[in-house]
Each structure stands twice: as structure tokens, then as C-alpha cells.
Amino acid sequence: MTDKTVLRFENVSFEYSHNKPLLEEVSFSVRSGFKAALMGQNGAGKSSLFRLILGELTANSGRISIDPQASVSIARQVVRRDKLDLSVEAFFAKCFRDKKWNLPARIENVLETVHLPMPPLQKKIRDFSGGQQARLLLAAALISDPDILLLDEPTNNLDPLGIEHLKAFLANFQKTCLVISHDADFLNSFTNGVLYLDIFTKKIEQYAGDYYDVVEEIERRIEKAESENARRERTIKEKRAQANVFAHKGGKLRSVAKRMRTLADDLEENKADVRREDKTLPSFEIACSERPGPIVAIHGISLLSGGVSNVRPLELTLKKKTHVLVSGPNGIGKSTFLESIARGETSIASILPGVRVGYYRQDFSTLDFEKTVFETLFASLPEKNKELVYKTAARFLLPASLLQNRVSSLSEGQKGLLLFATLFLEEPDLLLLDEPTNHINFRHLPVIAEALDRYRGTLILVSHDFQFVSQIRIDEVIDLETLQ
């Protein structure tokens, strides 16, 4: 790390629409080689701040300065939908303004860095697993050798080995890096400090130390502010009570009463603003029908190895109240297995007639991005009930102001909550969940785990989040690596 400043925000303000600011006169600077976690509550504007740095958004006022010699690149949370049908070669070609004659060699080198075997250059991006797409996103950010690297939730979809590789790479990365992540252990393995975007003050606060240091510091500030407000509140009550007494005595004491009321009003106005934490999902339950007997019969699993798919026989009948975990490294076929069940591929599985299926895809493609939030929830109701739509949206922290917005406008975290809201309304007998913790605020995960633990239908789960899985009753584990 050097004393050279490569990025500076000076009194930057930004809002998407009038009277809905995300940033208000934000000022901070980043030195060359500095590695920082960008923290903040859901909706604070962390991803928007990255887009301001990239020049994809323009500040309403203030100045954003980037060293003219410094290049900037980003690894986004997900592959954009308009890039899914690109070939590997075309995907990486878009990382450069000019055509690169040695692009295949560059691709092979950068894929080696992210520990992804070189695929055929004409293979489409959508044909890679979620974990492989995460590595491709990182590789696309690195292929131009940027001076400032922006990472937006880079551990989503990565298996434990992939996360360890990424930690090691970032620990040795000599340039500037800003990363958004809720994974404290991941952040603490390589960051030098924290930029905290406060959703209430709309400011950036800079902290030395790691994720846990910042959380403790914020808790201390909250406790101090609450203690100060409690002291002020006692004084306010005393002054108002005294003012009432003096006012009733009349005469010159009325002016004393007026001064005391003024003092109480001043104390009320100057109460410290207490930083509030994100709202946490209230407890919920995904119901299912009372149908008896088996739900789904598994006949085989298609495993991927060296780009070749091979079906392995597996006879397994799953009844109600059975929870299954599907495990294995990135790219082996876990998502493909769930997709095959959902599509009703009889060579892989037979779903019993009348069974309602709920499917949570990690890329949210079970949602229609052109529909509004209201239309999505309304369509999930067996019996149409507008009031229930509003109640369910609020339960899953989707405010009424969002209901007429298109699904495409939601953040990734909000899309995840919307999917859980649809499952809540659909009451499926068979629940297929593919990496349901991705993009979800860490405060919500224990609540979701509790709901899945209590789920009385048949659950087939894919997740690399061991802490999350440990909170859910698992009756069977299908380890795809042992079936190869």
C-alpha cells in the first residue's frame, strides 16, 4: 500500500428519483493497494456506489476522481441476462475496447488464476454451473489486469475450495480492491479496513480494522446514543413536569414555565439519531398439503466430468417430511439435477401425480422479470386475494412502494425474498432449493433455516453454506462426488 490516492469522492450526492437520496455529500479517499470491505445495510446503495465509480451512473453533485493512470474492473454478482448466450470467447472479448489477437491465451491464463479448467471457446456462458459462472465473472474482471478491482458478493455460488482459492489470490493481490460481502471470515482474510455506507445518514464512514471490529464499534455507538437519549428523555420529562407546575401557579412563573418548555423542546430536537439495524424477516412457515405416501422417486443423476455428462443410476424414493442435501464441487451437476427434477425428466426422477413443486433457482429465472412484484405474488395464490398479496409482501420485507415495480428492478436480495414469498403462497409438497442463501442478508438466514427445518414436505437442497445447512434437519445426503 502506498500514499498515492487512486480514488476520491468529494461531497458526492446521488439519488435515483427526487427525494430518495442514496448518497448525501459523501467524501472518502482510497490509497493505492488498499483493500477494503464496503459494508452497509440492504438498500443502502453499495452496488450503486460501484456503478458511480465505473461511470455507469452520474452523481447529482460533487466530484468523483480516479487516477488517470488507473484502470477499473468489476466482478458483478451475477452474469447479466443479455450475456448468458455469449460464447466464452465473446464474453471475454467484451472486456476489451480493442480486439486482442492473443485472446485465447489470455483466457487460458486468467482461468488458471481462478482455478477453472479451459473450456471450449464456443461454449455458452449459460451452460456453466452457478459456481463456474462466479469464477468466469472474476476472471472477466481480472483479464485486463485492473488497478482497482471491485468485487460484488464474489463468494456467491463458490464451493469451499473456490472460496479458499479466492482468499489466497486476494491476499497476494498487490493492487486496490473494494469488496461487498456478508462473509466476515472471507473479508477478514485480506482486507485492511472498512468503508461503511450508512443507510440513514447517507454518508461513508471509514474504519481501520476488520468486519468484527466495525460491528463492535457500531454497537458501541448505538449503546452510547441510546444511553444519551435515555438521559435526555428523563430530563425532558422533568422539565415538562416543572413547566406544568409553574404554569398553573400563574404570574411571573409563567415565563419560567415557557423557558422550561423551550429547553425541553431543544433537548427533544437534539436527541442523537440512533443507527437502526436492518429489519429481520419475521418467523414464517412454508405449508404443504396433507397428501400421504411418496412424493418423488429418484432414478438417476447426470454427472458432469471433463465436459461429458454421464447418468449414474440411483434408486431413492422420497416421502413427506424427508430433507435431502445434494453435495459436491462446482460444476459436477447439482443444479442440473434439480433442474431435471423440476422439468419432469423421467430418466432422472418421477414426481407423483398431484404433487405441487416449488423451485428456487439460484439465477431467479423461475421469476418473470417483466412482471411486477404484485403480479408475481398474485399469480402464486391459488385463490386470488389482493389483501393477502400486500400482507405477504410486507412479511418478506417488500414494501407496498415496490409492488408495482418490475421484478427486473429489484436488487438480487429482494429477488431472493420475492422467491421465498412465492413459495410461501404456493404451499408446495416438493421444495427444490438451489443455493437459497446467495444474496440474502445474513440476518435473515437463521429465520429461513428455521422455516426449512420445520418444513413438513419433501425438501431437496443444494447449498455450500455449511452454517446454514447445520441449522436444518437433513435426513439423506446425496454426495455426487462419490457417485463418479
User: What's the CATH number where 422 sits?
Assistant: 3.40.50.300
Co-location of 255 and 351 in the same domain: no
Q: Are residues 248 and 181 in the same domain?
A: no
- Same domain, yes or no: 160 and 239: no
Burial of 143 (0-12, 13-18, 19+ CB in 10 A): buried
Together in a domain, 248 and 335: no
- Strand-pair partners of 296: 318, 351
What pLDDT does residue 419 have?
96
107 lies in some domain: yes
11 and 86 within one domain = yes
> Same domain for 101 and 207?
yes
* pLDDT score at 257: 72
Residue 448, in any domain of the structure: yes
Same domain flag for 337 and 200:
no
Is position 302 within any domain? Answer: yes
Q: Is residue 456 located within the same domain as residue 377? A: yes
User: What residues in the chain have per-residue pLDDT under 70?
Assistant: 1-2, 18, 42, 250, 252-253, 267, 269-278, 306-307
In a domain, 283, yes or no: no
Residue at which a domain ends, from 182, 199, 215 = 215
Residues 61 and 172 in one domain: yes
Instruction: Kindly state whether residue 274 falls inside one of the protein's structural domains.
Output: no
- Asked whether residue 472 is assigned to any structural domain, the reply reads yes
Task: Choose the final residue of a domain: 150, 183, 215.
Answer: 215
Q: Same structural domain for residues 324 and 450?
A: yes
Q: Are residues 454 and 412 part of one domain?
A: yes
Q: 188 lies in a domain?
A: yes
- In this structure, is residue 238 part of a structural domain? yes
Task: Please state the domain count of the chain.
Answer: 3
Long-range contact set of residues 209-216: C-beta below 8 Å, sequence gap at least 24:
210/37, 210/184, 211/37, 211/39, 211/184, 211/187, 212/184, 212/188, 214/39
The answer on 221 and 201 residing in a single domain is: no
The residue among 215, 240, 255 that closes a domain is 215
> Quick check: 314 and 483 in contact, CB under 8 A?
yes
Q: What is the residue range of 45's domain? A: 5-215
